[in-house]
Amino acid sequence: MFSFNCMTWKKGLAFSVIGLVVLGFFIIASYKQSTYVPQPADNRPPLALRPPMGWNGWNHFRCSPKLNEKSFKEIVDTIVGTGMRDAGYQYVSLDDCWQIGRGADGQIIVDPERFPSGIKALATYVHERDMFFGIYTSAGRLTCEKRPGSYGYEYIDTTTYASWGVDYIKVDWCGIEYLDTQTQYRVWSDAIKQTGRPMVLNIAIAAIETIENNAVWKWGHGMADSWRTARDLSDFWDDILRVADINTRYADYSRIGGWNDADMMQVGNGGMDLESYRSHFSLWSMMSSPLIAGNDVREMSPEIIKILTNKEVISINQDPLGEQAKVVTELDGVQVWVKRLYHQGDRAVAVLNRTEQEKTYYLHWSDAKLLPVVVYRDLWAEKPRWQPSFGSLKVTLLPHQILLLRVSGVDS
Ligand code: GAL
């Protein structure tokens, strides 16, 4: 009798333990699914809680003296006047060629012809208009345009930048190929920290594919706020696809505080049609890439302004969940990209025609992991409205066209 009772008791205990383990598993699993926890960077508080937005002179002006104190201020004024600032563009930055030498005291020397009032005056001009100021240097002895780099002067330069009121530093990797990337960018991170001024660090390894220890998306968190994943972006369609394809490989590594940077944008630089620029802007938004305009904003057409200031598309880029979109299906040159958004059941869904022919495609909501009935908004439509859709949506796309939807539904 006793042994029978003992067996029952043991069995009961075993079942209870198993039951508790299973229950615990479901509680943890559902907790993980329902609770969004931002993941802070390892050794410093994240500065870029959203992908940084702004303007940089490189893609349009390169090293040209046409970008100088006067034109830079005009550009700042135009960013305000066209509504770009209010749409979110915050960091207005100089790229290479503002520096011409280094004094015996180690201080960097600013080109006096292009910037006669100095860099601090420019930063102040930007701050007075409620924006932030950014600057460029290289981790090496030389920049990519053979100007003086910062190697060995990291602490002096970050101290100088802080005294000028710099808010964002893009650090390139020219003139230094023989050193270790991770070690050198750690020096940058520490040098910025000792200034006590919060300055965003953008790691911009130009020739990234050919550099050793180039997987910055793995080691950059906690050190920097964003990092380039591919070589420089040019102003033609195949290059947009090249960079998007590379950048999307690292989607899992991008998160709040540390973003994959697909490079400064080419929207409005004249090499592509409006359809291609809309797709370029949409893809950068889907990929949570920094949105850094790179055109001469003083010469923008109303259509380009409309693209760069499309607030609903920007809100996909700036979504608080901070996820990077992924390609979920691809058929005959048409891709479906999906990005989970903060609001439960919401997705950004893009259908991209990569080809030179018109395409018809059936978009199935199950591809976006939603139940068959959803409502959606077309973010490039003249007047986007919520519309219901059942099962799938028939999409016809011009060459290079993208359909970008904000979709609300029930998770499948
Ligand atoms: C490149 C970098 C560009 C630009 C240029 C300046 O290597 O990727 O974005 O900064 O250097 O020389």
Provide the token pair at 408. 């609300």
pLDDT score of 13: 54
Beta carbons of 336 and 351 less than 8 angstroms apart: yes
Residue-by-residue pLDDT tens, the chain, 412 positions: 334 444 455 555 555 554 454 344 333 333 333 333 334 344 566 799 999 999 999 999 999 999 999 999 999 999 999 999 999 999 999 999 999 999 999 999 999 999 999 999 999 999 999 999 999 999 999 999 999 999 999 999 999 999 999 999 999 999 998 899 999 999 999 999 999 999 999 999 999 999 999 999 999 999 999 999 999 999 999 999 999 999 999 999 999 999 999 999 999 999 999 999 999 999 999 999 999 999 999 999 999 999 999 999 999 999 999 999 999 999 999 999 999 999 999 999 999 999 999 999 999 999 999 999 999 999 999 999 999 999 999 999 999 999 999 999 999 9
Q: Tell me which H or E stretch contains 17.
A: helix 2-34
Beta strands in 276-410 (DSSP E): 291-293, 326-331, 334-340, 346-353, 359-364, 373-378, 387-390, 392-397, 402-408
Cβ neighbors of 211 (< 8 A, separation 6 or more) are 173, 177, 181, 205
Please write the tens of the pLDDT for every residue from 302-311: 999 999 999 9
The yes-or-no answer on residue 232 being catalytic is: yes
pLDDT score of 35: 34
Q: Tell me which H or E stretch contains 32.
A: helix 2-34
Q: What is the DSSP letter of 256?
A: T
User: d(Cα 144, Cα 304) in Å, to the nearest integer?
Assistant: 30
Beta carbons of 169 and 202 less than 8 angstroms apart: yes
- Closest residue by CA, ligand 1 atom 7: 206
Q: Which atom of ligand 1 is nearest to the CA of 173?
A: 7
Beta carbons of 139 and 190 less than 8 angstroms apart: no
Provide the token pair at 135. 């600057």
What's the CA-to-centroid distance between 57 and ligand 1, angstroms?
11
Catalytic residue among 77, 190, 232, 367: 232
Provide the token pair at 296. 């001469």
Catalytic residue among 96, 157, 167, 172: 172
Which residues sit with their C-beta closer than 6 Å to ligand 1?
A: 58, 95-96, 136, 143-145, 172, 174, 204, 206, 232
- Closest residue by CA, ligand 1 atom 1: 206
pLDDT score of 337: 98
User: d(Cα 375, Cα 387) in Å, to the nearest integer?
Assistant: 5
Q: What angle do CA 37, 41, 46 make, to 5 degrees?
A: 90
The CA-to-CA distance between both ends of the chain, in Å, stands at 52
Q: Which atom of ligand 1 is nearest to the CA of 95?
A: 10
What's the CA-to-centroid distance between 232 and ligand 1, angstroms?
7
Nearest to 294 by CA among 313, 276, 312, 277: 277
Q: What angle do CA 103, 107, 112 make, to 5 degrees?
A: 75
Q: Which atom of ligand 1 is nearest to the CA of 136?
A: 10
- Closest residue by CA, ligand 1 atom 12: 144
Q: How far are the Cα atoms of 127, 253, 286, 340, 373 from residue 250, in angstroms, in the given order?
A: 34, 6, 13, 16, 31
Nearest to 44 by CA among 150, 195, 179: 195
Please write the tens of the pLDDT for every residue from 110-168: 999 999 999 999 999 999 999 999 999 999 999 999 999 999 999 999 999 999 999 99
The residue count of the chain comes to: 412
